[in-house]
Structure 1
Amino acid sequence: MIAILIPARYASTRYPGKPLARLRQPDGSDKSLIQMTWEAGCQVPEADAVFVVTDDDRIADEARGFGAEVIMTSDACRNGTERCAEALDRAGIEPEIVVNLQGDAPLTPPWFLSDLIAAMQADPAIPAATPVLRCDAQTLEMFREDRRAGRVGGTTAVFGQGGRALYFSKEVIPYTGDTEFADAEVPVFHHVGVYAYRPDALAQYAGWPVGPLETLEGLEQLRFLENGLPLACVEVDARGRLFWELNNPEDVSRIESVILKGQS
């Protein structure tokens, strides 16, 4: 069984109520961020089940309203990975692979998740994996624009041979200064906010304390690295589409512009 869990919380520091933010659609209607993310998860052919996982009744009511199955968790979960671990216990499901599709990424193409699942199935030794996407020049400039404005936007990843993650940061790494690159030459990889875990790796994660790097960066995946559990980076191909997450209110217009062009 492949289960996609969509952790969503209301009390976001940078954007309170983010899962319920409304995004305009090409036909003039609007949909909530959580609905668009759920619809993206439902497009993944390998998925046997898709759940919205939350501690908030407002999000749960919205999700049930558009037909999603909901797993309620406590408000003690500090991040989406902890929420996924608790959801497995509460729901009593035992999937082969758990996919965490974070609720702020409605532009995530289904093949990103398919590629991630395929990598996990091809190598049973991988305990956890996450997609990375080579930035094009436009995305790199969006990262730089956020940093110049003092905004914490998307996340970048660096990894070694074989795709083993070395580090993730809210800064733009590796350092590129103001160097301009052709799309195919950009040396920066955008971390896509999706994870796949074996259930035992997820259980281990939930038992570890929060480390200093996770605290400083505010990035949950660093807990794997701080505790010596390898995290595989799986490079995915956007196939000409722009990928961006909704991290700040300013991102609504960025994402809507993509939706209104018919990409999503």
Structure 2
Amino acid sequence: MNLSRRETRLNGTERCAAVSRALGPVYDVIVNLQGDAPLTPPWFLEALIEAIDADPDCGVATPVLRCDQQALDGFLEDRRAGRVGGTTAVFDAAGRGLYFSKEVIPYTGRGMKPGESIPVFHHVGAYAYRRNALLDYVDWRTGPLETWEGLEQLRFLENGAVVRCVEVQARGRVFWELNNPGDVPRIEAALASQGMD
């Protein structure tokens, strides 16, 4: 089977659905890694699989990483410079995604109180899906939020599906995604520090 990207497959979720449909019901859980996130550690994926295995009603799970001050500063600097950088996520107490944006959400302009945790979560470009959620996804039309933000996971939200946000820990590793040319040196340095240069 040729798994290469076809022009009719607009995003990774659609490509995963096409592969799942072609293979048939062999695999109930499909994991999607995105090529712009080479620093994604294996425990992020393990957390997704654990979350989806623990909840039979969970159709989609994706990792989120609480921003430290350096990551938040990177997001805010990208915005000030007019660059679209990574994606941020907000979710409820049960981990159900409320919204994903290429803007920094929630608003951070009020300043932080001493000892307060940064409430901004970096959405990591990886997903675990149940097969039925993928097949539903490709039957739905692209909505205005997905179109405006350019974020495929918003199609689930726009159609009333739950996207489970699974909080993960960096465990001392630098995590950043390749969104702009200026991200290349940062990612190369992180890979070198992990002995992968």
TM range (shorter): over 0.9
Which amino acid in the other structure matches residue 246 of structure 1?
L
Please say if 1:261 is aligned against 2:196: no
Quick check: 1:136–1:184 contact (8 Å CA) kept in 2?
Answer: no
Which amino acid in the other structure matches residue 133 of structure 2?
A
Partner of 1:197: 129
Task: State the 1:72 CA deviation.
Answer: 2.9
Distance 1:230 1:223, change over 3 A: same
Q: Deviations over 1:27-59 (max 9, x none)?
A: xxxxxxxxxxxxxxxxxxxxxxxxxxxxxxxxx
Quick check: 1:73–1:90 contact (8 Å CA) kept in 2?
Answer: no
Please say if 1:116 is aligned against 2:48: yes
Which amino acid in the other structure matches residue 159 of structure 1?
F
Please say if 1:232 is aligned against 2:177: no
**Counterpart Cα distance in 2 of 1:90 and 1:102:** 21
Runs of 4+ deviating beyond 4 Å: 180-184
Please say if 1:170 is aligned against 2:110: no
Q: Deviations over 1:169-215 (max 9, x none)?
A: 00000010273577971110000111111000000001111000000
TM-score normalised by the chain length of structure 2: 0.93
Task: State the 1:127 CA deviation.
Answer: 1.0
Partner of 1:139: 71
Q: 2:155 aligns with which of 223, 226, 246?
A: 223
* SS of structure 2 residue aligned to 1:162: coil
Q: How many aligned residue pairs are there? A: 196
Partner of 2:143: 211
Which amino acid in the other structure matches residue 193 of structure 2?
K
Q: Deviations over 1:109-158 (max 9, x none)?
A: 10000011001111111111111010011100110111011000000000
Moved more, 181-190 or 131-140: 181-190
Partner of 1:65: none
Which amino acid in the other structure matches residue 14 of structure 2?
E
Identify unmatched segments of 5+ residues in structure 2. Answer: none
Partner of 2:18: 86
**Counterpart Cα distance in 2 of 1:181 and 1:187:** 12
Task: State the 1:92 CA deviation.
Answer: 4.5
TM-score normalised by the chain length of structure 1: 0.70
Greater RCO structure (CA 8 Å; 6+ sep): 2
